[in-house]
Amino acid sequence: MGEEEMNPLVIDSNERGSLPDAVKRRAQQKRPTVPIEERRLIIGDYQCGEWPIEAKTVGDFFESQRSGHLMRQLDNMDANADFFGLLVWGSVPGYVKQVKSRGGTLSVPMALKQLSGGLARVVADFGCLIYRAPDLTEASHFLVSLHEKSFKPASRHGAQAVRRVSTNDVRVDMLLTIPGVGPELVERILEACGCVEEVACIDCLKQVRGLGPVIRKRIIEAFTSEEPVKYERTQSR
């Protein structure tokens, strides 16, 4: 299968700061160049292929986490997209220096611990992509590369990524075919739900520790949909 015609990488017209310009520069450096469009996005700051991406500096991440704005943004993305991501970029020591310049008390180890904990919370709650870029250059490279690869066929290596699982329990095998569901999560699902029939019950799945809304939605869809259920990971649909 050949490459699809590339749609523009979309930058939200309200996005401010240095990252939008860095993304534009990176897109122009590519051969062929990556098309860019600026317009109002309903969710996310960037639309890379089918991936809406919320982008935040380290400082923005902490501030929006404290205010609750981050979780509201991610809730909105979860409700309106099959998959999405959070990009957090910038220097942690640089952020600590800013905090201290304003009279705050924060060490680099403490900031790193808080950042790791905050990102882990996002993954546990939403099951979304997380990318941590140390600086502006890598952040822009990631966004442009993600957009490019959304329109390219899988590599030969990547094409082998379809999981073929076989255990001594057909119930386990069925659940393991769903992207994002691993052996430990299957064990917790069956412990909470008791049988496969109950797995399609949202109230039952809400009791499963570590099961976020994205994966929960996939499980319910897999067991209740009257249409074929497919999760395309390698190219834009």
Do residues 128 and 69 both lie within one domain? Answer: yes
Do residues 108 and 218 both lie within one domain? Answer: no
Query: pLDDT of the chain along its 237 residues, tens only?
Result: 445 578 899 999 999 999 999 999 999 999 889 999 999 999 999 999 888 999 999 999 999 999 999 999 998 888 888 789 999 999 999 999 999 999 989 999 999 999 999 999 999 888 889 999 999 999 999 999 999 988 776 555 444 444 444 567 888 888 888 877 777 788 888 888 888 778 888 888 888 887 777 788 888 888 888 888 776 543 333
Of 115, 149, 183, which residue constitutes the final position of a domain? 149
CB 222 within 8 Å of CB 178: yes
Which CATH number characterizes residue 75's domain? Answer: 3.40.50.10130
Do residues 125 and 53 both lie within one domain? Answer: yes
Q: Is position 133 within any domain?
A: yes
In what side-by-side order are the strands of the sheet with 46-48?
36-39, 9-12, 46-48, 51-57, 85-89, 129-133
- pLDDT tens-digit series, residues 93-137: 999 999 999 998 999 999 999 999 999 999 988 888 999 999 999
Range of the domain at 194: 162-224
Closest CA to 50 of 87, 81, 74: 81
Do residues 169 and 145 both lie within one domain? Answer: no
Q: Is position 109 within any domain?
A: yes
What number of residues does the chain have?
Answer: 237
Q: What is the DSSP string of 80-128?
A: H-SS-EEEEES-HHHHHHHHHHTT----HHHHHHHHHHHHHHHHHHH--
Phi, psi at residue 36, to the nearest 5°?
Answer: -120, 140
Q: What is the reported pLDDT for 14?
A: 94
Number of structural domains in the chain: 2
CA–CA separation, 183 and 28 (whole Å) = 44
Do residues 88 and 187 both lie within one domain? Answer: no
How much of the chain is in helix, strand and coil states, percent to nearest 5?
A: 50, 10, 40
Do residues 142 and 206 both lie within one domain? Answer: no
Residues with Cβ within 8 Å of residue 128, at least 6 apart in sequence: 74, 77, 78, 83, 84, 85, 86, 122, 214
Of 149, 184, 203, which residue constitutes the final position of a domain? 149
What does DSSP assign to residue 140?
A: H
Residues with Cβ within 8 Å of residue 197, at least 6 apart in sequence: none
In the Cβ-directed half-sphere of 216, how many Cα atoms lie within 13 Å? 21
Pairing of strands 46-48, 36-39: unpaired
Q: Is position 233 within any domain?
A: no
Do residues 71 and 141 both lie within one domain? Answer: yes
Residues with Cβ within 8 Å of residue 130, at least 6 apart in sequence: 85, 86, 88, 119, 122, 123
- The residue behind tokens 């500096």 is 57
Pairing of strands 9-12, 36-39: parallel
In the Cβ-directed half-sphere of 15, how many Cα atoms lie within 13 Å? 27
Do residues 68 and 123 both lie within one domain? Answer: yes
- pLDDT tens-digit series, residues 207-220: 888 777 778 888 88
